[in-house]
A = this chain, B = another copy of it.
Amino acid sequence: MNITIWNENYGETHDEEIRATHPEGIHGTLAGFLREIPGSKVRTAVLQDPEAGLPDDILNSTDVLLWWGHIVHHLVPDELVEKIHDRVLRGMGMVVLHSAHHSKIFRRLMGTTCDLRWREGCYARLFNLNPAHPIASGVPENFELGAEECYGEFFDIPAPDDLIFGSWYDSGEIFRSGCAWRRGYGKIFYFQPGHETNRAYYHPVVRRILQNACLWAAPQVFRSVEGSPQLIPTLEEIRAGKE
Protein backbone atom coordinates (compact mmCIF):
# COMPACT_ATOMS: atom_id res chain seq x y z
CA MET A 1 0.00 0.00 0.00
CA ASN A 2 1.47 3.32 -1.15
CA ILE A 3 0.53 6.08 1.27
CA THR A 4 1.19 9.70 0.36
CA ILE A 5 0.86 12.39 3.03
CA TRP A 6 0.25 15.87 1.62
CA ASN A 7 0.67 18.95 3.80
CA GLU A 8 0.42 22.63 2.95
CA ASN A 9 3.42 23.06 5.26
CA TYR A 10 2.71 26.70 5.92
CA GLY A 11 2.41 26.96 9.68
CA GLU A 12 5.56 24.92 10.22
CA THR A 13 7.59 27.47 8.28
CA HIS A 14 5.99 30.58 9.77
CA ASP A 15 5.23 29.81 13.42
CA GLU A 16 7.62 28.79 16.16
CA GLU A 17 4.96 27.00 18.23
CA ILE A 18 3.86 24.83 15.32
CA ARG A 19 7.47 23.99 14.46
CA ALA A 20 8.04 23.03 18.09
CA THR A 21 4.98 20.75 18.01
CA HIS A 22 5.92 19.18 14.69
CA PRO A 23 9.69 19.42 14.23
CA GLU A 24 9.52 17.55 10.93
CA GLY A 25 6.25 19.13 9.87
CA ILE A 26 2.79 17.71 10.40
CA HIS A 27 3.53 15.39 7.47
CA GLY A 28 6.60 14.17 9.30
CA THR A 29 4.65 13.49 12.47
CA LEU A 30 2.04 11.56 10.51
CA ALA A 31 4.62 9.62 8.52
CA GLY A 32 6.27 8.48 11.74
CA PHE A 33 3.40 6.28 12.83
CA LEU A 34 1.84 5.46 9.46
CA ARG A 35 5.12 3.73 8.58
CA GLU A 36 4.21 1.22 11.31
CA ILE A 37 1.43 -0.19 9.09
CA PRO A 38 2.73 -3.55 7.84
CA GLY A 39 3.28 -3.45 4.08
CA SER A 40 2.97 0.30 3.82
CA LYS A 41 5.30 2.52 1.82
CA VAL A 42 4.92 6.10 3.02
CA ARG A 43 5.89 9.24 1.10
CA THR A 44 5.35 12.88 2.06
CA ALA A 45 4.63 15.81 -0.22
CA VAL A 46 4.25 19.52 0.48
CA LEU A 47 2.77 22.45 -1.39
CA GLN A 48 6.23 23.96 -1.90
CA ASP A 49 7.46 20.92 -3.85
CA PRO A 50 7.43 20.97 -7.67
CA GLU A 51 3.93 20.63 -9.08
CA ALA A 52 2.54 21.34 -5.62
CA GLY A 53 3.99 18.06 -4.44
CA LEU A 54 1.85 15.75 -6.57
CA PRO A 55 3.24 15.26 -10.07
CA ASP A 56 1.41 12.60 -12.05
CA ASP A 57 3.84 9.80 -11.27
CA ILE A 58 3.36 10.27 -7.53
CA LEU A 59 -0.39 10.73 -7.65
CA ASN A 60 -0.87 7.79 -9.98
CA SER A 61 1.08 5.46 -7.73
CA THR A 62 -0.74 6.50 -4.56
CA ASP A 63 -3.25 4.13 -2.94
CA VAL A 64 -4.21 6.33 0.00
CA LEU A 65 -3.72 10.09 0.12
CA LEU A 66 -3.79 11.98 3.44
CA TRP A 67 -4.47 15.71 3.24
CA TRP A 68 -3.68 18.42 5.79
CA GLY A 69 -4.31 22.05 4.88
CA HIS A 70 -5.58 25.18 6.59
CA ILE A 71 -4.56 28.67 5.49
CA VAL A 72 -3.50 28.32 1.87
CA HIS A 73 -6.15 26.06 0.37
CA HIS A 74 -6.47 28.60 -2.46
CA LEU A 75 -2.89 27.96 -3.59
CA VAL A 76 -3.61 24.37 -4.59
CA PRO A 77 -4.01 24.44 -8.40
CA ASP A 78 -7.52 23.69 -9.67
CA GLU A 79 -6.05 21.37 -12.27
CA LEU A 80 -4.46 19.26 -9.55
CA VAL A 81 -7.73 19.16 -7.62
CA GLU A 82 -9.45 17.72 -10.70
CA LYS A 83 -6.74 15.07 -11.06
CA ILE A 84 -7.07 14.02 -7.43
CA HIS A 85 -10.86 13.99 -7.72
CA ASP A 86 -10.67 11.75 -10.76
CA ARG A 87 -8.28 9.37 -9.01
CA VAL A 88 -10.50 9.09 -5.93
CA LEU A 89 -13.50 8.22 -8.13
CA ARG A 90 -11.36 5.52 -9.75
CA GLY A 91 -10.48 3.97 -6.40
CA MET A 92 -7.83 5.90 -4.46
CA GLY A 93 -8.55 6.24 -0.76
CA MET A 94 -8.45 9.64 0.89
CA VAL A 95 -8.07 10.67 4.54
CA VAL A 96 -8.99 14.31 5.10
CA LEU A 97 -7.66 15.87 8.28
CA HIS A 98 -8.89 18.65 10.54
CA SER A 99 -8.95 22.05 8.78
CA ALA A 100 -8.79 20.33 5.40
CA HIS A 101 -12.59 20.26 5.73
CA HIS A 102 -12.33 23.48 3.71
CA SER A 103 -9.83 22.17 1.17
CA LYS A 104 -10.83 22.36 -2.48
CA ILE A 105 -10.64 18.59 -2.92
CA PHE A 106 -12.92 17.77 0.03
CA ARG A 107 -15.52 20.35 -1.02
CA ARG A 108 -15.31 18.99 -4.57
CA LEU A 109 -15.95 15.45 -3.38
CA MET A 110 -18.74 16.38 -0.99
CA GLY A 111 -20.56 18.91 -3.19
CA THR A 112 -21.35 21.08 -0.15
CA THR A 113 -19.76 24.06 1.60
CA CYS A 114 -18.26 21.94 4.41
CA ASP A 115 -18.71 24.99 6.65
CA LEU A 116 -18.64 24.53 10.42
CA ARG A 117 -18.22 26.54 13.62
CA TRP A 118 -14.89 26.69 15.47
CA ARG A 119 -13.15 27.98 18.56
CA GLU A 120 -9.56 27.51 19.74
CA GLY A 121 -8.37 26.43 23.16
CA CYS A 122 -10.83 23.72 24.06
CA TYR A 123 -10.81 20.28 25.65
CA ALA A 124 -12.16 17.34 23.64
CA ARG A 125 -13.49 13.84 24.23
CA LEU A 126 -14.27 11.38 21.47
CA PHE A 127 -17.03 8.77 21.46
CA ASN A 128 -17.08 5.61 19.39
CA LEU A 129 -20.48 5.53 17.68
CA ASN A 130 -19.82 2.54 15.44
CA PRO A 131 -17.77 -0.08 17.29
CA ALA A 132 -18.05 -2.67 14.51
CA HIS A 133 -16.54 -0.39 11.87
CA PRO A 134 -12.99 -1.30 10.77
CA ILE A 135 -11.80 2.25 11.48
CA ALA A 136 -12.94 1.78 15.11
CA SER A 137 -10.93 -1.40 15.56
CA GLY A 138 -9.11 -1.26 18.88
CA VAL A 139 -10.74 2.03 19.82
CA PRO A 140 -12.41 2.14 23.25
CA GLU A 141 -16.02 3.31 23.77
CA ASN A 142 -14.66 6.78 24.41
CA PHE A 143 -11.34 8.44 25.12
CA GLU A 144 -9.91 11.72 26.35
CA LEU A 145 -8.28 13.58 23.48
CA GLY A 146 -7.39 16.58 25.64
CA ALA A 147 -6.52 20.01 24.23
CA GLU A 148 -7.93 20.49 20.74
CA GLU A 149 -9.54 23.17 18.64
CA CYS A 150 -13.32 22.90 18.87
CA TYR A 151 -15.32 22.32 15.70
CA GLY A 152 -19.08 22.70 16.11
CA GLU A 153 -22.24 21.77 14.24
CA PHE A 154 -23.86 22.48 11.87
CA PHE A 155 -21.19 20.79 9.76
CA ASP A 156 -22.41 21.18 6.19
CA ILE A 157 -21.58 17.76 4.77
CA PRO A 158 -23.68 15.10 3.06
CA ALA A 159 -24.99 12.59 5.61
CA PRO A 160 -22.05 10.20 6.09
CA ASP A 161 -22.41 6.63 4.86
CA ASP A 162 -20.89 5.71 8.22
CA LEU A 163 -20.80 7.99 11.25
CA ILE A 164 -17.99 6.56 13.37
CA PHE A 165 -16.91 9.14 15.94
CA GLY A 166 -18.51 12.07 17.72
CA SER A 167 -16.74 14.75 19.76
CA TRP A 168 -17.66 16.59 22.92
CA TYR A 169 -15.97 19.90 23.75
CA ASP A 170 -15.97 21.66 27.08
CA SER A 171 -16.97 24.87 25.30
CA GLY A 172 -20.44 23.45 24.77
CA GLU A 173 -20.26 21.98 21.26
CA ILE A 174 -20.61 18.58 19.63
CA PHE A 175 -19.25 17.49 16.26
CA ARG A 176 -19.51 14.54 13.90
CA SER A 177 -15.75 14.09 14.03
CA GLY A 178 -15.21 10.80 12.20
CA CYS A 179 -17.20 10.35 8.99
CA ALA A 180 -16.85 7.96 6.06
CA TRP A 181 -18.20 8.10 2.51
CA ARG A 182 -17.83 6.17 -0.72
CA ARG A 183 -17.52 8.22 -3.90
CA GLY A 184 -17.21 6.25 -7.13
CA TYR A 185 -14.76 3.40 -6.45
CA GLY A 186 -12.97 5.38 -3.73
CA LYS A 187 -13.36 5.70 0.01
CA ILE A 188 -13.03 8.91 2.02
CA PHE A 189 -12.59 9.38 5.76
CA TYR A 190 -12.76 12.77 7.45
CA PHE A 191 -11.27 13.06 10.95
CA GLN A 192 -11.51 16.22 13.04
CA PRO A 193 -8.52 16.16 15.44
CA GLY A 194 -5.24 17.74 14.41
CA HIS A 195 -5.01 21.43 15.24
CA GLU A 196 -1.48 22.51 14.42
CA THR A 197 -0.49 23.59 17.92
CA ASN A 198 -2.08 20.63 19.68
CA ARG A 199 -0.73 17.13 20.05
CA ALA A 200 -3.55 14.96 18.75
CA TYR A 201 -1.24 13.12 16.35
CA TYR A 202 0.83 11.97 19.31
CA HIS A 203 -2.20 10.35 20.98
CA PRO A 204 -2.06 6.53 20.73
CA VAL A 205 -5.77 6.12 19.95
CA VAL A 206 -5.65 8.81 17.26
CA ARG A 207 -2.67 7.02 15.73
CA ARG A 208 -4.57 3.74 15.75
CA ILE A 209 -7.56 5.40 14.10
CA LEU A 210 -5.47 6.86 11.29
CA GLN A 211 -3.68 3.57 10.74
CA ASN A 212 -7.06 1.84 10.57
CA ALA A 213 -8.31 4.50 8.17
CA CYS A 214 -5.46 3.89 5.73
CA LEU A 215 -6.12 0.15 5.77
CA TRP A 216 -9.86 0.72 5.29
CA ALA A 217 -9.42 3.26 2.49
CA ALA A 218 -6.98 1.15 0.48
CA PRO A 219 -8.48 0.50 -2.94
CA GLN A 220 -9.77 -2.92 -3.87
CA VAL A 221 -9.65 -2.21 -7.57
CA PHE A 222 -9.24 0.80 -9.83
CA ARG A 223 -11.96 1.67 -12.28
CA SER A 224 -10.57 1.75 -15.79
CA VAL A 225 -13.58 2.65 -17.93
CA GLU A 226 -13.64 5.91 -19.83
CA GLY A 227 -16.94 7.77 -20.03
CA SER A 228 -20.30 6.04 -20.08
CA PRO A 229 -19.80 2.36 -20.81
CA GLN A 230 -21.84 0.36 -23.28
CA LEU A 231 -24.56 -1.93 -22.07
CA ILE A 232 -23.90 -5.54 -21.31
CA PRO A 233 -25.47 -8.01 -23.74
CA THR A 234 -29.19 -8.54 -23.51
CA LEU A 235 -30.42 -11.92 -22.47
CA GLU A 236 -31.52 -12.55 -26.03
CA GLU A 237 -28.04 -11.82 -27.28
CA ILE A 238 -26.58 -14.16 -24.71
CA ARG A 239 -29.04 -16.85 -25.70
CA ALA A 240 -28.25 -16.29 -29.35
CA GLY A 241 -24.55 -16.64 -28.59
CA LYS A 242 -23.82 -13.09 -29.72
CA GLU A 243 -21.66 -12.16 -26.79
Instruction: Return the CB mask of A20-42 against B: 1 if under 8 Å, else 0.
Output: 00000000000000000000000
The listed residue (B127, B136, B182) touching A132 by CB distance below 8 A is: B182
Query: Given A166-B153, A167-B174, are A130 and B159 also a contact pair (CB < 8 Å)?
Result: yes
Inter-chain CA distance A112–B172, complex, in Å, is 30
Instruction: Return the CB mask of A158-201 against B: 1 if under 8 Å, else 0.
Output: 11011100111011111010000111111100000000000000
A80 within 8 A of partner (CB) = no
Considering only residues 110-159 of chain A, those with a C-beta below 8 Å from chain B are: 110-113, 115-119, 123, 125, 127-134, 136-138, 141-142, 144, 150, 152-154, 156, 158-159
Identify 29 residue pairs between A and B in the complex whose beta-carbon atoms are under 8 Å apart, listed by A's number. A111-B111, A111-B183, A113-B184, A115-B229, A116-B228, A117-B229, A119-B231, A119-B234, A123-B235, A127-B173, A128-B153, A129-B153, A129-B154, A129-B176, A130-B159, A130-B182, A131-B154, A132-B182, A138-B220, A141-B153, A158-B158, A159-B161, A159-B162, A159-B163, A166-B176, A168-B168, A168-B174, A171-B231, A172-B234
Q: Please, which residue of chain B has its CB at the minimum distance from the CB of A230? A: B117
Return A7 CB to nearest CB of chain B, in Å.
22
Return A148 CB to nearest CB of chain B, in Å.
14
Return A221 CB to nearest CB of chain B, in Å.
7
Q: Which residues of A contact B (CB under 8 A)?
A: 85, 89, 91, 102, 108-113, 115-119, 123, 125, 127-134, 136-138, 141-142, 144, 150, 152-154, 156, 158-159, 161-163, 166-168, 170-174, 176, 181-187, 219-221, 223, 225, 227-235, 238
